[in-house]
Amino acid sequence: MYKRSIFLAISVFFFFTGAFAQFMPDPLGIKLVRTLQLTNNLYVDEVDSEKLTEAAIRAMLRELDPHSSYLNKDEVRAMNEPLQGDFEGIGISFNMVTDTLYVIEVISGGPAQKVGIMPGDKIIYVNDTLIAGVKMSSEEVVKKLRGPKGTTVTVKVLRRGVPRLLEFRIVRDKIPIYSIDASYMADDEIGYIRLSRFAATSANEFRKAEEKLKAKGMKKLILDLTGNGGGILQTATDIADEFLDNGKLIVYTEGRAQPRSNFTATSKGQFEQGDLVVLVDESSASASEIVAGAIQDWDRGVIVGRRTFGKGLVQRQLPLPDGTMIRLTVARYYTPSGRCIQRPYKSGDIEAYNMDFFNRYRKGELLHADSIHFPDSLKYKTLVNNRTVYGGGGIMPDYFVPIDTTSLTDLHRDLIAKGIVNRIAIMEVDNRRNSLLKAYPDVDAFKKDYSIPADMVTKMKQMAEEEKVEWDEEEFERSEKLLFTQLKALIARDIYDSSAYFKIINDENEIFQEGLRIIKTPEKYNDLLM
């Protein structure tokens, strides 16, 4: 252990003192290694050298900025998986409900589908290990189901209407992770695409979604980046390229040791013409802000929602010899008008940086646009229509949409947090899947005609009592419409797909509704761009 840790520390030392000698002079590297040696040799108790080394690296990087960080092997794996666009496993989505694994979705063409696993199945055993009724966490279940491509896992399944457990032998394989949460036509000419991340496969997914919507008559597009925390820079520029003319600057990066690098649009974009609305909120960050910033700076579309996160720093992933990694901020990125949208931070004070959302809420910024103030020094002009925009704290939308708190009650929060709403939706699908599909052959029919039955509310009250959630009738009446929409959306997702979920839940999404209203009103749309 000692030798391995010393090796790691020395490796870090040579990493910084070799190719990147300008960042850490030799005496400081020697100082780091010597401190570790003295601690190992002389400290009163035995120490975990590897743990100390990792703590030192984490502390060092924490002093730089909020986004430079150290990642151990497990953290590297967890970070890379969604960005790579695939993982190795059996190919299901599931929910743990009252200690039972319910299969929600079976990925088309995946290993589970090939052997006959179906939505609604309950997995009871994994390789002779009982997982039902034993309070096993979702993380533990995932570890048992996932594994290297080509390896085998055996599951025993309880299926409605079948009196015995069904056994399936599944050979694990590569499973795609999709970035497009939803893609559908909002009306005869308005398409909607919701992008959850900027992964390696996201640009190709996006182009395919565009093509399908254009084939259905799409002339206008709503791009939903709310809650999208970012991802790969190149992917962001590839998606922005879909909307911008050849040669237009999308973003540029620059740092002390990184010369300016320009990313420009090509002639390959599939939606360079046609009205465009981009939806953002306080969780839209990094790559999302690159896309939104480029579209705003070129007056290409209207940004709708709330001020974005404000991450304008570029990290480079730098592997260390033992499979760990540091993510080091090497540059800032700038929108075409020259804005750096990184919000202020104090080196070493990550806690204050992470409290930004709470502070925005406390100051009223999420409720009132006039609570947001930018200094004149951060004022910039868009490149076509000369509109005023600001840097230094995220992308301020062209049209502000406050958080709607009218339906949010303590009862609603508790019903969601206790998993009651999700469990009721699963039960409805589990009990009535075939009859629901027969009555509503597609999501449009379901959306139009399905209503939440009264007995579902009765069951919700029973579950609330069991979970010691205080039922307040007045709060229920305030939250009823939102709760029913969420229930309906969850049921639709389990019957059809994730697009069905958003097709329904967007009825209660104020940002989407305002974006839809704007793109449907040419006068309003054009006025916001002038």
Concatenating the DSSP letter of every residue in 288-355 gives: HHHHHHHHHHTT-SEEEES------EEEEEEE-TTS-EEEEEEEEEE-TTS---PPP--TT-HHHHHT
Ramachandran area for residue 153 (φ above 0: left; ψ -120 to 50: alpha; else beta): beta
Q: What are phi and psi of 339, to 5 degrees?
A: -75, 135
Give the Cα separation of 210 and 192 in Å (integer). Answer: 9
Is 286 in the active site?
Answer: yes
Give the Cα separation of 354 and 68 in Å (integer). Answer: 14
- The radius of gyration of the chain's CA atoms, rounded to the nearest angstrom, is 26
Output the six-digit token pair for 296: 């705003």
Output the six-digit token pair for 297: 């700076």
Give the Cα separation of 215 and 299 in Å (integer). Answer: 26
Q: Are strands 100-106 and 92-97 parallel, antiparallel or unpaired?
A: antiparallel
Which of 173, 181, 281, 297 is an active site residue?
Answer: 297
Q: What are phi and psi of 459, to 5 degrees?
A: -65, -35
User: 3-state class of 67 per DSSP?
Assistant: coil
Is 220 in the active site?
Answer: no
Is 174 in the active site?
Answer: no
Which of 122, 156, 248, 311 is an active site residue?
Answer: 311
Which of 49, 69, 183, 286 is an active site residue?
Answer: 286
Active site residues: 286, 297, 311
